[in-house]
Structure 1
Amino acid sequence: MKTLFKQGRYIITGVIFAILWSSASIATKWGLEASQPFVLAIVRFVIAGTIMVFLTHVIFRHRLPSGKEWRQLFIYGVLNIGVYLGLYVLAMQHVSAGLGSLFPATSPVFVSIISAIVYQQKIKRETILSLGLCLIGIMIASYPLLLKSYASTIGLMLLLLSMLSYSFGSVYFSRKYWADLHILTINGWQTILGGVLLLPLMLFYYDTTLNEFNTKFLGAVIWLAIIVSIGAVQLWLYLIKEDAIRSSFWLFLCPIFGFIMAWLFMNEPINVFTILGVSLVILGLYTVQRKNFSNK
């Protein structure tokens, strides 16, 4: 009975994670209707980072980073927050919410390729095949959106660059020694330090006429900062802790939920190109993870 309950809890957690993670693109689109990109990003990072730092040091009494850990946190924050989410929020001005949820789901493929390059390993045929499937799938899903002005070439390029930065950040994180530094401490400080990178850009481009701090902006920020940056990330950490291999399965659902929610809340089209493109991306994700699933 306990095993059945544990499996049910794991499945429910996975579904909730996929929904919340996919919702980030929609919340970002709503936030951009009321503010400039860097304003939305900075406020999100400040709220999320402050809450996590408060929880980890004041409530849970985890230690502060020390020595070279600060440098590692800054580099990780620049890659994983400043560049990745900075480019992402810029891209979301030019692409649909559905595409905004499709690109992040491909991260395991890019991480596999970058890891092979960094560790000077031969890139496997399965990895090259999975990359090809994902890229073709993205192009097919993007084609009708480009024709109907739901996406632009610059937006797709910014999304691709953001995913490369995120993937480099993931590899960097895995290569560094973090001792007993708690994951909540790492997430809190890397969010704040990464956000520092965007602060000068926000101040330079700030235009009072382009920012309305209304309920739409407030709702988007709270959702992105608390529900996504804190809630969804903690769910993901739980899934990894329970089963690091099976956890990848939930990434397969993210583009599906992303396009469905974009259709429901943003009136974005779903057609045969969407279904075929998402299917190829999921096939590409499965290809790069197939060996792990087989071993499991």
Structure 2
Amino acid sequence: MDRSQRRNTWLDVLITALAPAIWGSTYIVTTEVLPADRPFTAALLRALPAGLLLVLYSRYLPKTNQWGRLVILAALNIGFFQALLFVAAYRLPGGLAAVVGAIQPLLVMGLAWALDRQRPASLAVAASAVGIAGMAALLLSPGSSWDALGIAAAFFGTACMAAGTYLTRRWQPKVPLLAFTGWQLLIGGVLLLPVAWLVDPPLPVLSLSHVLGYAYLSIFGALLAYVLWFRGISRLAPVAVSSLGLLSPLVAVILGWALLGQSITGVALLGLIAVLGSILAVQWATTKSSAATQTKPVVAAPHAKVAPCATMAQGDN
């Protein structure tokens, strides 16, 4: 990998990092602006309108042989993940749910090792472990409650997102980026619809701030963020992308400090620095690993055959 390619890779990292940064801002919007106790409705109104807008704009109808994988990815990345995420959020302190979610890079490495025989770089494994420890130091309090159902929901939600990230990169569907994102959000929203209908209470009369809050979640938290996220998956290693997800709770903590007067001191500050260091180390390790791979002769393997990295972005850049 030459200097120009390395520079482009780091630019892709920065662009992709905008997605979890935006997701981190949705915490404060949800808690401070939206009606309370309607988590599945919030997830539904975030995903479904954004999906409809992107599908209508892209005007792309997937081919018959693309629907199966598209539905699986939509369920993993949007439907199941969002539902389990909110179950965990309601049964666990937010910090504990984020710590469980921090294992996602390790899960992606495990999938790549088990299915593609890609042994993870030692630095990436060590950095991911440091990220989990840093997240615990930043967010956990001595009185955190360990609800078994909440822990299970957080773990399986994280596993769904890890599998979705890995399979998105492995399958590389030949679908334009905006359509690929839109159909996933639309299908995921349809999956969330019965859950929101059956579990959440009806919405109250919405104020202007409520409408603006839901609009922000949909336009920025779903439409823009997921386009950037899936663009990143098409260009970067899955482990590199998943490690960037740690930025989401990090941004939430920083916004809480800046806007709500929440403090960051002592061990929590060390944890924040450790998480940032972990993210940078994983990016460095995966970039170095990609460069080493490109210097070796490529041997075709039927089970590892994928489309070019830019497939999903064709026609949309």
> TM-score, normalised to structure 2's length?
0.71
2:46 paired residue number:
44
Structure 1 residue 201 and structure 2 residue 188: aligned? no
* Contact 2:102–2:132 (CA under 8 A) maintained in structure 1: no
Q: CA deviation at 1:39?
A: 1.2
Measure, in 2, the Cα distance between the counterparts of 1:122 and 1:32: 44
Q: CA deviation at 1:214?
A: 3.1
Show the 5 A alignment for 1:223-234. Answer: 223-234=216-227
* Contact 2:71–2:187 (CA under 8 A) maintained in structure 1: yes
Structure 1 residue 139 and structure 2 residue 132: aligned? no
Q: CA deviation at 1:34?
A: 3.3
Given residue 85 of structure 1, which amino acid in structure 2 is its aligned partner?
Q
Q: CA deviation at 1:45?
A: 1.6
Q: CA deviation at 1:127?
A: 4.0
* Distance of aligned partners of 1:186 and 1:240 in 2 relative to their CA distance in 1, 3 Å threshold: closer
Stretches of structure 2 that go unaligned for 5 or more consecutive residues are 292-317
Structure 1 residue 275 and structure 2 residue 273: aligned? no
Show the 5 A alignment for 1:239-250. Answer: 244=236
- Deviation track 1:145-204 (CA, whole Å, cap 9, x = no partner) reads x63xxx64345654443222111001111222522x111111111111122222222222
Q: Secondary structure at the match of 2:140?
A: helix
Given residue 261 of structure 1, which amino acid in structure 2 is its aligned partner?
L
* Contact 2:131–2:274 (CA under 8 A) maintained in structure 1: yes
Measure, in 2, the Cα distance between the counterparts of 1:261 and 1:103: 21
1:213 paired residue number:
206
* Distance of aligned partners of 1:45 and 1:158 in 2 relative to their CA distance in 1, 3 Å threshold: same
Measure, in 2, the Cα distance between the counterparts of 1:14 and 1:288: 14
Measure, in 2, the Cα distance between the counterparts of 1:65 and 1:12: 30
* Contact 2:97–2:151 (CA under 8 A) maintained in structure 1: no
Q: CA deviation at 1:213?
A: 3.0
The equivalent position to 1:183 in structure 2, one of 177, 185, 188, is 177
1:259 paired residue number:
253
* Contact 2:29–2:213 (CA under 8 A) maintained in structure 1: yes
Show the 5 A alignment for 1:21-36. Answer: 21-30=23-32, 33-36=35-38
Q: CA deviation at 1:55?
A: 0.9
Measure, in 2, the Cα distance between the counterparts of 1:10 and 1:289: 11
Q: CA deviation at 1:32?
A: 5.5
Measure, in 2, the Cα distance between the counterparts of 1:10 and 1:111: 19
1:60 paired residue number:
none
- Deviation track 1:217-248 (CA, whole Å, cap 9, x = no partner) reads 3222111110121223344566778x748x86
* Contact 1:91–1:156 (CA under 8 A) maintained in structure 2: yes
Bigger helix fraction: 1
* Distance of aligned partners of 1:10 and 1:166 in 2 relative to their CA distance in 1, 3 Å threshold: closer
Q: Secondary structure at the match of 1:213?
A: coil
> TM-score, normalised to structure 1's length?
0.75
* Contact 1:38–1:202 (CA under 8 A) maintained in structure 2: yes
Measure, in 2, the Cα distance between the counterparts of 1:17 and 1:123: 24
Q: Percent identity?
A: 23
